[in-house]
Amino acid sequence: MNTKLIQKALGLLALASIVLTACGGGAAVPASNVQQSIGKGEGEVDIIAWAGYIERGATDKNYDWVTQFEKETGCAVKDKVASTSDEMVTLMNQGGFDLVTASGDASLRLVYGGTVQEVNIALIKDWNRIDQRLQNGGWHTVNGKHYGVPYQWGPNVLMYNTQAFGDTAPASWNVVFEEMTLADGKSNKGRVQAYVGPIYIADAAVYLKAHKPELGITDPYELTKPQFDAAVALLKQQRQLVQRYWPDATSQIDDFTNEGVVAGTSWPYQVNTLVAAGQPIASLVPSEGTTGWADTTMMHAKAPHPNCAYMWLGWSLNKKLQGDLASWFGSVPVTPDACQGNDLLGAEGCKTNGIDNFDKIAFWKTPIADCGNGKQDCVPYSEWTKAYVDITGSK
């Protein structure tokens, strides 16, 4: 990892420590005055989003779920692309935005930090169409209160170069954690990638859960100190193999195309893009299972345009948007009915993007000290951040 990114991570540590010390200490969820009705739009809605989440047809005219919304509501959509969850948290804390498409490693930080507000699901007319497994997800629901509307989800897959692995697909995450000679006769050292960010420690925990059951890991985000130390040790070992920690989808696509990378944690988006470009790429969820993301559109506690924001929250669940977005991003709709009848997604699109892997996924959530069993001995996110900086500098 480069020095600038390490410095950025260190800079974010102070914020993470403040917010998540409160979480770990059992602090109450900040009080919120829930909006009771949707009034006239303010003419604008400002959204922080992952790249590809807010499309108006600029790249491909077939993918546009913004233009019609603007025509129907009079709310102009302005979006700010963020590359990481930490960047999303920083931008939301700075203020001036209405919504953010937060992943689970950011959402609880925003809730306990008082940055986002409770959403009145009675104002979201299609709420009941959301997959029931996502409606009360622990990454956006606290004490029975909903702090956002599910948007899309997907697994973190093992992406690999079929030429490097020959006729036999990899079956385990060991190809990125353990040094070995691949089918092409070359070592995997310097040819594998890992996801950038402290939450990647959970991927090591998933691997150890399967291969070192004596550690007693049950939840990769609720780790006692011995379990956490074992995961960190594994990642320090892996650091000697890693070509780099990929910071965004575009960078990883380029590395698999031009830099000789042959295996790494990835998203279906990169897989689909590389396959469409004719690259020798495939993916799977290994035997140990995987981590994954269920993204939630969350509303700032001081949203400048709350009515337009609620209008977008409702719009975000319409069947065509959900299907089109899943096709574009390589994700899975949060409304299962969107998997059928979408020309862009196709009949097998949801299957291709991992809908059958739901039960194999440990969805990202912010680690806190509360282990959920009455004990406060799990390692909080602030410590994950410190350890991650140490890991990336260990080579």
Query: Domains plus CATH for the chain?
Result: 3-154+293-363 (3.40.190.10), 155-291+368-392 (3.40.190.10)
Task: Check whether 153 has a pLDDT greater than 70.
Answer: yes
For the chain, give the longest Cα–Cα distance. Answer: 65
Three-class secondary structure of residue 135 per DSSP? helix
Pairwise CA distance, residues 171 & 284, whole Å = 8
- Report which residue type is found at 236: K
The pLDDT value given to residue 247 = 86
Pairwise CA distance, residues 13 & 20, whole Å = 10
CB 213 within 8 A of CB 195: no
CB 195 within 8 A of CB 205: no
pLDDT digits over 274-307, tens only?
Answer: 999 999 999 999 999 999 999 999 999 999 999 9
Residues 6+ apart with CB under 8 A from 250: 51
The reported pTM is 0.86
pLDDT digits over 90-136, tens only?
Answer: 999 999 999 999 999 999 999 999 999 999 999 999 999 999 999 99
pLDDT digits over 208-232, tens only?
Answer: 999 999 999 999 999 999 999 999 9
pLDDT digits over 228-251, tens only?
Answer: 999 999 999 999 999 999 988 899
